[in-house]
Amino acid sequence: MVGRDGERARLSAFVLAPDGQALVLRGEAGVGKSTLLDLAARLAAEDGQLVVRATGVEAESGLPHAGLHQLLYPLLPTSDDRPCDGRPFDDRPTDHRLSDDRPSGTPQLGAAARAAFDAVFGRPDGPPPPVMALGIAVLDLLSWTASKGRPVLLVLDDGQWLDEASAEVCGFVGRRLAGRPGVKLLVAVRGDTASPFDTAALPEAPIGALADADATRLLDLHHPRLGRQVRGLVLEQAGGNPLALLELPAHLADGPGDRAGQDLLGLHGLHGVPLPRRIQEIYAARLARLGDTVRAELLRGALDGAAARPGDGPASIARYRMREVDEAVACGLLVVEPGAGEFAFRHPLVRSSVVQLATPDQRRAAHRVLAQLHREYPERRAIHLAAATVDPEEGVAADLEAAARSATRRGGARLAVSWLTRAAELSETRVDRSRRLGEAAYVAGQTDHLGRARSLALAAAPGTDESPAAVLADSYLALYRDGEVRATHRRIVAAVERLRDSPDRGHHLPGRADRGPDRPDEVLDRLVSLLLAVSQYAGDRATWRRTHEVLATLGDLASERAWMYGSTWSDVVRHGSGWSRRVERASAGLEEQDPWDVTRLAVSAYHLDVLSPLRPYLERVVDRELDTGAMSSGIVMLHLVLLDQLALGQWDAAERTGHRALALATERGHGLFAHQTRAYLAQLAAVRGRTAEARELQTAVEAWARPRGVGFLTQIADAVGATAALSAGDYETAFLHAIGITPPGAFRPYAYQASRTLLDLVEAALHTGRAEQARAHALAARDAGLPDLSPRLALVTHGALAMTAEDDTEASAHYARAQSHPAAERFPFELARIRLAHGIAVRRLHGAAAARLPLTQAAKAFDRLGAPAWSARAHAELRAAGVAPQAPAPTSIPLTWQERRVAELAAGGLTNKEIGEHMRLSPRTVSAHLYRAFPKLGITTRAALRDALTRVSQPTPAP
Q: What gap in Å lies between CA 833 and CA 837, rounded to an integer?
A: 6
pLDDT band at 718, cuts 50/70/90?
very high
Q: Residue 308: what pLDDT?
A: 41
Provide the pairing of β-strand 183-190 with 50-55.
unpaired
In whole angstroms, how far apart are CA 848 and each of 686, 767, 803, 806, 871?
30, 21, 18, 22, 18
Select the more confidently predicted residue: 852 or 505.
852
Which sign, positive or negative, has the C-alpha torsion 216, 220, 221, 222?
positive
Average of per-residue pLDDT across 779-793: 95
Tell me the pLDDT tens digit for each residue of 330-375.
888 888 876 667 788 877 778 878 888 888 899 999 998 998 888 8
Phi-psi region of 203 (alpha: psi -120 to 50; beta: other; left: phi over 0): beta
* H or E element in which residue 688 lies: none
CB burial readout 813-851, b (16+ within 10 A) else e: ebbebbbebeebebbbbbbbbbbbbbbbbbbeeeebeeb
Q: Which DSSP string do the residues of 440-472 spell out, in sequence order? A: HHHHHHHTT-HHHHHHHHHHHSTT-S-SHHHHH
Phi-psi region of 688 (alpha: psi -120 to 50; beta: other; left: phi over 0): alpha
Distance linking the first and last C-alpha atoms of the chain: 34
* Pick from 701, 730, 732: nearest CA to 717: 701
Q: Residue 128: what pLDDT?
A: 63
Q: Residue 896: what pLDDT?
A: 72
Who contacts 217 (Cβ-Cβ below 8 Å, separation ≥6)?
2, 3
Given a contact cutoff of 8 angstroms between Cβ atoms, the answer to whether 60 and 299 are in contact is no
pLDDT band at 122, cuts 50/70/90?
low
Name the percent of the chain lying above pLDDT 90.
35
pLDDT band at 628, cuts 50/70/90?
low
Please say if the pLDDT value at position 776 is more than 90: yes
Q: What gap in Å lies between CA 425 and CA 281, rounded to an integer?
A: 34
Q: Which of 81-95, 304-318, 573-587, 903-917 has the lowest mean pLDDT?
A: 81-95
Given a contact cutoff of 8 angstroms between Cβ atoms, the answer to whether 344 and 308 are in contact is yes
Q: What gap in Å lies between CA 180 and CA 182, rounded to an integer?
A: 7
Q: What gap in Å lies between CA 623 and CA 565, rounded to an integer?
A: 25
Average of per-residue pLDDT across 423-428: 89
Select the more confidently predicted residue: 499 or 571.
571
Q: Which of 102-106, 600-604, 748-752, 882-886 has the lowest mean pLDDT?
A: 102-106
Q: Residue 36: what pLDDT?
A: 92
Please say if the pLDDT value at position 509 is more than 70: no
Q: What gap in Å lies between CA 72 and CA 86, rounded to an integer?
A: 16
Q: Residue 259: what pLDDT?
A: 39
Greatest mean pLDDT among 115-129, 136-150, 392-406, 601-615 lies in: 601-615
Average of per-residue pLDDT across 405-428: 80
Q: What gap in Å lies between CA 288 and CA 301, rounded to an integer?
A: 17
Q: What is the DSSP letter of 312?
A: S
pLDDT band at 254, cuts 50/70/90?
very low
Q: Residue 755: what pLDDT?
A: 95
Q: Residue 443: what pLDDT?
A: 83
Who contacts 148 (Cβ-Cβ below 8 Å, separation ≥6)?
103, 105
Mean pLDDT of the chain: 82
Q: Residue 553: what pLDDT?
A: 93
* Pick from 426, 644, 439: nearest CA to 525: 439
Tell me the pLDDT tens digit for each residue of 170-197.
988 888 888 778 899 999 998 877 888 8
Q: Residue 395: what pLDDT?
A: 87
Q: Count of CB atoms within 10 A of residue 907's CB?
A: 17
Please say if the pLDDT value at position 955 is more than 80: no
pTM of the model: 0.65
Given a contact cutoff of 8 angstroms between Cβ atoms, the answer to whether 130 and 622 are in contact is yes
* H or E element in which residue 581 lies: helix 580-586
Q: Which of 384-393, 819-828, 893-902 has the lowest mean pLDDT?
A: 893-902
Q: Where are the alpha helices (DSSP H) in 17-83?
A: 33-46, 66-72
Q: Which of 122-126, 291-295, 816-820, 934-938 has the lowest mean pLDDT?
A: 122-126
Average of per-residue pLDDT across 474-488: 89
Please say if the pLDDT value at position 261 is more than 60: no
pLDDT band at 90, cuts 50/70/90?
very low
